[in-house]
Homo-oligomer: A and B are copies of this chain.
């Protein structure tokens, strides 16, 4: 497991010691259950039983299930971003982009392509039923898109991508290919769709590499 991550929300008092550990354990347990069963398929009693806590502890730290869902979104975002550094901070070459996407495909293969994307699954489930979650998930996607875009921007600043490349649009397109590719791979139980989807977008990005630096 990762080191505890700061998933406290504005206005929430900072916890230390046992309180912090209990809160982290509830979030990690809820994240795991929600990943496998969906938010709708995960009840507070399920989380109590799996985390070995009381309902009152859950309500104490999170107010209600919705509060816990928001903490899970932050946790999944922080954890997955942490796991993928430092690669995520060095997406400033075609090779680095391909390696990053290949590693994600290998992780999907290792799981039999089950599960899909932690963030994407939450997004699809909660988009229409929980406006606060939707806002948090939009911020989560922005946090994923930022390192892709800044890597492309650094390439462009160094003259390794043509000035005509719209790096923001290309970063969004790669994030969309990752999300759509993971969904197709999850449904087909094969990483081929994901690999093809990201390759096509990276090929397009590569087409902006000036001939003399290619």
Residues of B within 8 A of A36 (CB): 128
Q: Give how many copies assemble into the complex.
A: 2
Residues of B within 8 A of A94 (CB): none
Contact with B along A174-212 (1 / 0, CB 8 A): 011111110110111100111011011101100100000
- Please tell me if the beta carbons of B188 and A180 are within 8 angstroms of each other in the complex: no
Chain A residues engaging chain B, CB cutoff 8 angstroms? 36-38, 40-41, 114-116, 120-121, 123-125, 127-129, 134, 137-138, 141, 166, 169-170, 172-173, 175-181, 183-184, 186-189, 192-194, 196-197, 199-201, 203-204, 207
- Please tell me if the beta carbons of A38 and B129 are within 8 angstroms of each other in the complex: yes
Measured CB to CB, the closest approach of chain B to A38, in angstroms, equals 6
A169 vs B202: C-alpha distance in the bound complex, in angstroms?
13
Closest to A173 in B: B200
Which of the residues B183, B187, B196 comes within 8 Å of A180, measured between beta carbons? Answer: B183
A187 vs B121: C-alpha distance in the bound complex, in angstroms?
12
| New A-B contacts (9) at CB < 8 Å, excluding given A116-B124, A116-B127, A172-B196 | A123-B186, A124-B125, A125-B125, A128-B186, A173-B181, A175-B193, A176-B176, A177-B177, A180-B180
Which of the residues B179, B187, B196 comes within 8 Å of A134, measured between beta carbons? Answer: B187
- Offer 14 A-B interface pairs, CB within 8 angstroms, sorted by A: A38-B125, A114-B128, A116-B128, A123-B186, A128-B186, A138-B188, A166-B196, A169-B196, A173-B200, A177-B177, A177-B197, A177-B201, A179-B180, A203-B204
Which of the residues B179, B197, B203 comes within 8 Å of A183, measured between beta carbons? Answer: B179
- With A37-B129, A41-B40, A124-B120 known as contacts, the answer to whether A173 contacts B177 (CB < 8 A) is yes
A192 vs B129: C-alpha distance in the bound complex, in angstroms?
22
